[in-house]
Amino acid sequence: MPDNDWRSHERWRAILERRLNEIGSMVKGNQSFQADRISDLLEQIDEIRKELAAVKDRQDKIALYVKENVPKRNGA
């Protein structure tokens, strides 16, 4: 299960890195800043894909459990 706590080491490092990139981009100019933003968005999309895959796996397990363990009703 992914760690959603913003205080985790990985998240804290990502936050600091983004802020440092933002400050550096302000010094370098808008093009670098936009490139950093796109990079951040791609990273976030990748995280969401991983989380969605975990949700799908859990949903598949629940569906299999229900199919195997919950009796069917007649007329339902």
Domain extent listing, the chain: 9-69
Residue 1: its pLDDT value, please? 43
**pLDDT at residue 6 greater than cutoff 60:** no
Look up residue 57 and give its two tokens.
Answer: 């796996």
Q: Report angle CA 67, 70, 74 to the nearest 5 degrees.
A: 100
Confidence of residue 76 (pLDDT cuts 50, 70, 90): low
**pLDDT at residue 75 greater than cutoff 90:** no
Look up residue 33 and give its two tokens.
Answer: 């800043």
What are the tens digits of pLDDT across the range 14-72? 887 788 777 776 776 777 777 777 888 888 888 999 999 999 999 999 999 999 998 88
**pLDDT at residue 3 greater than cutoff 60:** no
Beta-strand runs (E) in the chain = none
